[in-house]
Structure 1
Amino acid sequence: MTGLISSPAPAPEAPETIVVADGWFPPIALADVRDRLRLGEGVVTTSRLTEAIEGGMLHAFRELVDWRTVQVLAGHEALDAVTDLEINGRNLAEVLWERIVRYFAGADLAADYRDVTATDQGLDRSAEKDLTSDELRRRALAAVADLLSIGGDPVARNMVELI
């Protein structure tokens, strides 16, 4: 006997379970994030997913604070009022907001769920998780640039800061 005990995957939350933003930005459904990101191979608990989405929102707020202020001063009462453009029948700004939060949350979760063991194979998987986290963060920042480009000059997706 090895002494290993398997834990069952947590039950998925109800489809209507959401993380509420600040009222100007729309809420994010946990089920949508879970469905679109395959992280933790089904073992991400609802509380960890909620915390990651909250962290993604906080990061997004920081990235978008000046842009949002301009939009509010222009009279836009909510994110969906910023543009009439749609993609697949959905408001483009809201689609971008969801991508930003989802990818920032996914980057945090990918960094947390490492498969580190004493074997070389486990170490290789850990390096792959780093790449996944970096890629998800890159996608979030690309969505930030796309959202910042609405109603103004295009914002470059790649920004480099020299030290």
Structure 2
Amino acid sequence: MSFMALPPWYPPTVMTPAPAPVPGIIENDGWFPDIALIEMRDAMRLDGTVTDARLVQAVVDAVLHVNRELATWQALHAQAGIAALAEVPATRINRESRLLAQYRRAVYSTAKADLIERYRDYDSTATSLADKKSMEWLDEAPGAQRRNAQWAIADMVGRSHLTVELI
């Protein structure tokens, strides 16, 4: 295979390798905070049955979803010169902005809902009463986690909580 040489007037390109990702950290866009997987595992009680690869994928998808939900709100703050979520004026809880706690809750809950739905892939047969209760929990838990995520987002942007179910 041969490559065509670039003309002598063409500026040289310097390819700098991207820095290696930090293990156990999902790097965010710079405005929203990074997500530490070990903190999520502890907060959401995720054990070793959730592999690192599966957790990374669920958290990446959750970050993309939550960031998209907050895009307009973020743009308003960015236009006002605010460079990061931590700089948005807000009350502080446990020595940090409440917005950081709510953002993590939205991401964690969205990711956990996705993970719970995937557990149904393994075994969806209930062979005992305990299995039936577990299956009922698997049916209801993703919706509760998605509600938690939406409430965290609503709290961030100043919207009231509203849940509507179709009958």
TM-score range, shorter chain: 0.7 to 0.9
Q: 2: CA distance between counterparts of 1:55 and 1:123? A: 29
Could you tell me the TM-score, scaled by structure 2's length? 0.77
* Residue 59 of structure 2, aligned match among 42, 53, 56: 53
Pick aligned residue for 2:100 from 94, 97, 110: 94
Instruction: Report the CA distance between 1:72 and its aligned residue.
Output: 0.5
How far the C-alpha of 1:119 sits from its partner, in A, is: 2.4
1:116, 1:125 within 8 Å by CA — same for their partners in 2? no
Aligned counterpart, 1:28: 35
Distance in 1, Cα, partners of 2:70 & 2:136: 30
Alignment CA distance shift 1:62-1:103 (3 Å): same
The one-letter amino acid of 2:160's match is A
TM-score by length of structure 1 reads 0.79
What residue is the counterpart of 1:79 in the other structure?
85
User: Which residue of 116, 129, 153 corresponds with 2:138?
Assistant: 129
Select which of 151, 155, 162 maps to 1:158.
Answer: 162
Offset at residue 156 of structure 1 (A): 1.0
The percentage of aligned residue pairs carrying the same residue is 38
Superposition CA RMSD, Å: 2.1
Gapped runs of 5+ residues in structure 1? 1-14, 150-154
**Compared with structure 1, are the counterparts of its residues 46 and 89 closer, same or farther at alpha carbon in structure 2 (3 Å cutoff)?**
same
Check conservation: 1:116, 1:123, Cα contact below 8 A: no
Flag the 1:72–1:161 CA change in 2: closer, same or farther, 3 A.
farther
Secondary structure of the 1:156 match is coil
The Cα shift of 1:104 comes to 0.4
Give the number of equivalent residue pairs. 142
Distance 1:129 1:112 in 2: 10
- Written as runs of structure 1 = structure 2, the 5 A alignment for 1:141-152 is 141-149=150-158
Closer, same or farther: CA 161–71 of 1 in aligned 2, 3 Å: farther
Q: Deviations over 1:47-98 (max 9, x none)?
A: 1111111111111012111111111011101101112421011121111111
SS of equivalent to 1:100: helix
